[in-house]
C-alpha cells in the first residue's frame, strides 16, 4: 500500500494485562503496518515489559511515545492506577485526534472495573470516546471472518435490551452502518438485521418486538435509501452473511453479534467505532490477566486492527 504514512496513536490498554506486551510485539513484527505510530502509555511500564519479557524496546521500534505517567502495577491485578493509565492514554490520544494531530487511534484492551475504580465511569472504550468527541451518535462494529456486525445495544444487561430496541435506535445504527460500509470495501451496502427473539418472534408467538417495532424502523430506513432486510432469526442470519448474502449485519445485543464474529475470526477480527470524527480500531479480545507477564500473548488481533486503521486512514 503506497502513499504517505498516516500518523496514528497506539494506546497500551490496562498495564496489568497483555496490552504493553502485544504493543511491543506488534511494533517489532516484520509485517507491522506502515504508519507513524505514536504509543500512548507509561514509559516505566513499557520499559519494564520489554526488560522482563526480553522484547525489543519501544525506543528501537521507530515508534514515538507520549508518556502519560505512572508506575508499574501488579500484573494480572485490577487496580485504580492501572485504570487511570488506561483511560488517560485513550483520552490523550482521542483529544490529539480531535485537534487533527493524529488520524485516530488503535486501542489495546482495558479493564472496565479498573477504569471505574479510577473514576472513569464509562461502560467501555466506545462510550469514553463518544464523550471525548462530544457525539452520542456512534456504534460498535466488528469486522472479521467475512462479516461486518454492528451492535444495536452494547454493554447492557440482557433484561434491559428489549426496552432499548426502539425505532429511533434501529434507524440511527443502521444509518451509521450504511454510511460506513463503503470505507470497508462494501459498495453494495446491503444490510440485514437480526430479530430480538428466537425465530425472530415467530409471527408474534415468541415476543412482539418483530411485529411492533421493526417494521416501522425498516420502512423509514428504506424510504431514506438504506437497503436493509429483516428481521431474520439470529441462528441462521450469520451463516448467510458469511456466505456473502449481506455486506453488514445489525445484532440486537452484545453476545448475539460477537459470538459468531469470534467463532469465525477470533484473534483476527477488529472492533471499529463508527460515527466518530476520527478513526478508532481495536482488538477483539480482553486484557488477558491470566496470561499477562508470561510472554504468551498473541499480537495478531492488534496487528489486524493496525492494518485496518492504516487502510481507513488512506481510503
Distance CA 109, CA 18 (A): 8
Domain check: are 177 and 96 in the same one? no
In CATH, what number is assigned to the domain containing residue 242? 3.40.718.10
Domain check: are 252 and 311 in the same one? no
Strand partners, 9: 38, 105
pLDDT, residue 40, reads: 98
Distance CA 252, CA 154 (A): 9
Domain check: are 144 and 50 in the same one? no
Domain check: are 129 and 154 in the same one? no
Domain check: are 106 and 212 in the same one? no
Domain check: are 45 and 129 in the same one? yes
Domain that holds residue 238: 136-275
Domain check: are 67 and 82 in the same one? yes
273 C-beta neighbours (distance < 10 Å), count = 25
Q: How confident is the prediction along the chain (315 residues), in pLDDT tens digits per residue? A: 456 799 999 999 999 999 999 999 999 999 999 999 999 999 999 999 999 999 999 999 999 999 999 999 999 999 999 999 999 999 999 999 999 999 999 999 999 999 999 999 998 898 999 999 999 899 999 998 889 999 999 989 999 999 999 999 999 999 999 999 998 888 789 999 999 999 999 999 999 999 999 999 999 999 999 999 999 999 999 999 999 999 999 999 999 999 999 999 887 889 999 999 999 999 989 999 999 999 999 999 999 999 999 999 997
Domain check: are 213 and 267 in the same one? yes
- Grid cell of 60 as nine digits: 528501537
Domain check: are 114 and 216 in the same one? no
Q: How many structural domains compose the chain?
A: 2
Domain check: are 64 and 12 in the same one? yes
Name the CA radius of gyration of the chain, rounded: 20
Domain check: are 229 and 213 in the same one? yes
* Final residue belonging to a domain, choices 275, 290, 306: 275
Alpha helices in the chain (DSSP H): 19-28, 43-53, 80-98, 112-117, 125-133, 161-164, 167-180, 209-212, 214-223, 234-242, 254-265, 300-314
Domain check: are 185 and 295 in the same one? no
Distance CA 71, CA 217 (A): 50
Amino acid at each position: 500500500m503506497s502513499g504517505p504514512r498516516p500518523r496514528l496513536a497506539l494506546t497500551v490498554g490496562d498495564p496489568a494485562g497483555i496490552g504493553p506486551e502485544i504493543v511491543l510485539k506488534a511494533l517489532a513484527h516484520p509485517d507491522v503496518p506502515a504508519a507513524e505510530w505514536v504509543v500512548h502509555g507509561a514509559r516505566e511500564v513499557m520499559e519494564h515489559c520489554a526488560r522482563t519479557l526480553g522484547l525489543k524496546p519501544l525506543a528501537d521500534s521507530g515508534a514515538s511515545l507520549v508518556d502519560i505517567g505512572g508506575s508499574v502495577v501488579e500484573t494480572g491485578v485490577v487496580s485504580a492506577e492501572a485504570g487511570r493509565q488506561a483511560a488517560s492514554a485513550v483520552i490523550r490520544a482521542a483529544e490529539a485526534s480531535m485537534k487533527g494531530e493524529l488520524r485516530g487511534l488503535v486501542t489495546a484492551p482495558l479493564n472496565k472495573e479498573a477504569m471505574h475504580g479510577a473514576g472513569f465511569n464509562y461502560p467501555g472504550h466506545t462510550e469514553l470516546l463518544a464523550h471525548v468527541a462530544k457525539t452520542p451518535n456512534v456504534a460498535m462494529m466488528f469486522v472479521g471472518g467475512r462479516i461486518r456486525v454492528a451492535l444495536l445495544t452494547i454493554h447492557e444487561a440482557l433484561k434491559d435490551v428489549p426496552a432499548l430496541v426502539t425505532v429511533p435506535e434501529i434507524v440511527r445504527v443502521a444509518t451509521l452502518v450504511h454510511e460506513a460500509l463503503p470505507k470497508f470495501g462494501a459498495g453494495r451496502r446491503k444490510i440485514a438485521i437480526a430479530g430480538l427473539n428466537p425465530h425472530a418472534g415467530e409471527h408474534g408467538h415468541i415476543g412482539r418486538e418483530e411485529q411492533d417495532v421493526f417494521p416501522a424502523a425498516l420502512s423509514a430506513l428504506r424510504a431514506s435509501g438504506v437497503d436493509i432486510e429483516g428481521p431474520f432469526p439470529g441462528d441462521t442470519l450469520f451463516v448467510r452473511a458469511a456466505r456473502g448474502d449481506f455486506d453488514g449485519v445489525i445484532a440486537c445485543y452484545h453476545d448475539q453479534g460477537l459470538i459468531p464474529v469470534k467463532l469465525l475470526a477470533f484473534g483476527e477480527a477488529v472492533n471499529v467505532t463508527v460515527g466518530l470524527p476520527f478513526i478508532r480500531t481495536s482488538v477483539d479480545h480482553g486484557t488477558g490477566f491470566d496470561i499477562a507477564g508470561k510472554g504468551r500473548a498473541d499480537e495478531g488481533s492488534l496487528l489486524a486492527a493496525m492494518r485496518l486503521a492504516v487502510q481507513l486512514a488512506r481510503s
